[in-house]
Chains A and B, each alone.
Chain A
Amino acid sequence: MTSVGTPLERQDARAKVTGTATYAYEHRVEGVLYAWPVTSTVAKGRVVDIDMDSAMATPGVVAVLHADNAARLETNIDLGPVQQASVPELFVLQSKKIAYRGQIVAAVIASSAEAAREGAEKLVVHCEEQAHDVVFRARDPRAYVPSVLGDLGPGNVNRGDADAALEAAEVVVDVAYSTPAQLPHPMEPHSTLASWTEGRLTLYSSEQGPSNTSQAFAALLAMDADDVEVVCDYVGGGFGAKAAPRPPAVLAVLAAKLVGRPVKVAWNRRLMTAHATYRSPTAQRIRLGADGQGKLSAIVHEAQHMTSALSDYVDQTASSARMMYAAEHARTTATAVRLDVPSAGWMRGPGETPGMFGLECAMDELAHRLDLDPIELRIRNEPEVDPSDGKPFSSRNLVACLQTGAEQFGWVSRDRRPGTRRHGRWLVGTGVAASRYPVFTVPSRASATAETDGTFTVAIGAVDIGTGSRTVLAQIAADALEVPVARVRLDLGRASYSAAAFAGASLGTASWGWAVDKAGRVLRDRLRDGAPLGTTVDVDTTEEVSAMRDVSRNAYGAQFAEVKVDAVTGQIRVERMLGVFAAGRIINPRTARSQLIGGMIMGIGGTLMEAADIDETFGDFVQSDLAGYHFPTHADIGDIDVVMLPETDDELSPVGGKGIGEIGVVGAAAAVANAVHHATGRRFRDLPLRLEDLRNASPASMSLHQSLR
């Protein structure tokens, strides 16, 4: 009786196809009011005065919330190292200082959403404007090295003497890459319904972490976390944007506190560009030193980011370069430039995504220089142990991924010469890149109850943002309890269930699953020992997690892309894509496949179209809606497939999975960009690969008349 490993139907699929799945904004409470924010129209300065008369005179308007009447939040709060970078953005309306254009400076609360928005349009906010600095430039002399990055590692890491090794290297690749700011844009915009009852706060909120959000609000409001319930029954995607509470939720809480009634807020796309976080742009320089056989001696990866005046968050863009390949000498440096812009944060595969674009393109460039197959180059540099710290790998099947993919994709017969395949007006090419994402496992709690009707209820403060966790955790619970999955009811999405980590860093299944597995086993044993029906057990995996051996744990993959480039227009089509992943045990191949493909599709978007540019005059993002910020639609996606290599790894949580939420996006951009090089014979090192960039490079193979011949 094993459910784990079977393609069980997504447990909430029927609720989703019938429209009965209830998302944050859709909860109903009596007497609810609506709030609409007013945001700063300067990038730096302070609020001097607010003229409220006209807004207050608007029919339906109940109140104006602003810095002078907003409840004071606790300022000295510690949400732990992972969440701490998100804290400064939570101090909504706590000061009159404006740190970026789009910052919340007031809000109008009304009896209808229409009235709130009308009132907000009428509110006149007078600001004192100061000169702003919003331009992100490569090699900015002001760039600083942050002490800690998003993965909690240091900004600068040195191994050996990389400069000397580069000096001595037979072949050196020294290239610059850039990636733009990208916006997570989950389909469900941030929305929160905040309701106070008898000193307790309930937030129906679109969050990736009900427990975290509860803890954050408890800290901000100096409350007991037990008095802050966070309900996230269904969440319409997150991709990092909801991995910590964001300003919309704080605004709902402050508004509800001011008026003493429940308040709903729902963000629109323009507001999301300011408050939903974004992937920082990067300016990267990569140097690879190798011998004539392609054996790497040195890797130097430097990546510059942008931070806001409020937040120090910096992606771990260069970290992968420390451990992907066996080079004796390596230096990885992440730097940041502080600008008067909205705060960057997590977006799916933070750091690894832009960093592996650079590194995996550079590897392709090195292979090309050596006239070596890029898969062979990677195999020649396969390390025995983690090169960054000498630790053994728990398992590492990158080479198997590359080789399996090569076989299935038809790589073997590939002609390496770039710019030589033409079908009518289309230039055709293929590319490969490696993927890697670290395994994070964190302590979690879960409870399990033997119901009197013979079913079991397992509850955990986890969340299903579309990943399938509701399904895979039920499978894990069923196996632990040794019952069919139909007898398990899996409750998640509420902070009041046993505390669990957020849905982020691909850690959910391993971390939550461990607690669910333990709860199931403990309950099963208790029942065997004679415990009565109705028994509940509550477990915690802190001890087990801290007892994990100190080894290097990562998921790996290889991505293959076939592209065609329109020689007349420069437009790119990804015709075919294959991802091969070794990510430990796959709990549910059906939902896993969807998630991995989804990551690859986000990777295609990031390669070909996704970019948010800061407007130099105004300091906000130019692409302020979904017509301006393109991400892939149906027509952009050709044949796409995934292979999940069987992998057993005894150094993981008992669940045996490494996490698959992010690895699909990592490496996808490099595979596509390398394929574009193979198609056109030109290197494009700046994302996205816009048609004008392809045209401006005007490789010989793209001449108009040749395509008309």
Chain B
Amino acid sequence: MKTDHTSEVTLRINGTEEKVLVDHRVTLLDLLRDRLGLTGTKKGCDHGQCGACTVLLNGRRANSCLKLAVAAEGATVVTIEGVADLTEGDGLHPLQEAFVANDAMQCGYCTPGQICSALGALAEADAGWPSHVTPDVTAGVKSASELGAEEIRERMSGNLCRCGAYHGIVAAITQVASGSNR
């Protein structure tokens, strides 16, 4: 049994390899915010109860507050700072553009988590995954493009917004889900 309380971890974050010595207690969220200066990922509750810390971890959305940094050794992470690079060109990701166009935010603190979560949710729908409100779990869904508002609301429910920007967020995601520019 090892007894060290720190370890060196290597992660690929937004395409860049980061090698850091971490106290085992440090979560991926705190590593991003306090050590790597990637403060776009937010701490809203630190217990997986709000979704503000959502990042893409090895391609899937995850709460970075509940992931120990040391346990993320070798992982690929995309944070809000890397979302624009997921698409070609210099501009924002279409989902970011849609959030702007639909005023899908107020204070902005939940916004990065909402966007990362939406990217994950759309990929899950494209994989045919059903949700709690899918009428027939056996059939699942065909793709993200067929998601209605009820489906998007359910799939996004792990991301709280106290300002109540849900209306705009769902509109933004719907716009991107139904478009071909993902």
Contact = CB atoms under 8 A, between A and B. Distances in A.
Find out whether A and B make contact in their complex, taking CB atoms under 8 A apart as touching. yes
Contact of A631 (B23, B103, B160): B160
Given A13-B100, A18-B81, A188 B40 contact: no
B44 A189 contact: yes
B133 to A, nearest CB: 8
A590 interface: yes
**Size category of the binding interface on chain B:** 35 or more
B92 interface: yes
Interface string B134-174: 00000000000000000011101111111111111110000
Given A234-B108, A239-B162, A627 B47 contact: yes
A96 B101 CA distance: 53
A559 B177 CA distance: 31
B165 A598 contact: yes
Nearest to A10: B103
Interface string A181-216: 000111111000000000000000000000000000
A634 B162 contact: no
B52 A26 contact: no
A650 interface: no
B80 A236 contact: no
Interface string A259-283: 0000000101100000000000000
Contact of A594 (B44, B49, B103, B109): B103
Contacts of B25: 114, 118
Contacts of B84: 18
**Size category of the binding interface on chain A:** 35 or more
A17 B100 contact: yes
A626 B50 contact: yes
A625 interface: yes
Contacts, number: 178
Nearest to A27: B39
Given A237-B162, A268-B46, A17 B99 contact: yes
B42 interface: yes
A69 interface: no
Given A188-B44, A625-B49, A631-B162, A23 B167 contact: no
A22 B109 CA distance: 10
Contacts of A266: 43
Contact of B105 (A13, A28, A465): A13
A116 to B, nearest CB: 11
Interface in A599-644: 599-602, 625-627, 631-635, 637, 640
B40 A634 contact: no
B25 to A, nearest CB: 4
A19 B92 contact: no
B173 to A, nearest CB: 10
Nearest to B84: A18
A63 interface: no
A20 B164 contact: no
B89 interface: no
A468 interface: yes
B79 interface: yes
A241 to B, nearest CB: 10
Most chain-A CB neighbours within 10 Å: which of B46, B105, B108, B110?
A: B108
B109 A634 contact: no
A408 to B, nearest CB: 17
A17 B105 contact: yes
Nearest to A466: B107
A14 interface: yes
Nearest to A465: B107
Given A17-B111, A18-B96, A468 B33 contact: no
Interface in A25-51: 25-26, 28
B33 A637 contact: no
Contacts of B39: 19, 22-23, 25-26
Given A237-B162, A269-B47, A601-B166, 17 more contacts: A13-B103, A16-B111, A17-B112, A18-B92, A19-B39, A186-B109, A187-B52, A187-B161, A235-B107, A236-B110, A465-B107, A466-B107, A466-B163, A595-B106, A602-B164, A634-B157, A635-B154
Interface of A: 9-10, 12-23, 25-26, 28, 112-114, 118, 184-189, 234-237, 239, 266, 268-269, 465-468, 590-591, 593-595, 597-602, 625-627, 631-635, 637, 640
18 contacts: A13-B105, A15-B108, A17-B96, A17-B100, A18-B83, A19-B39, A19-B40, A19-B112, A186-B107, A188-B42, A189-B45, A237-B162, A626-B47, A626-B49, A633-B160, A634-B153, A634-B156, A634-B157
6 closest pairs, A vs B, by CB? A19-B40, A466-B107, A236-B109, A601-B164, A598-B164, A16-B108
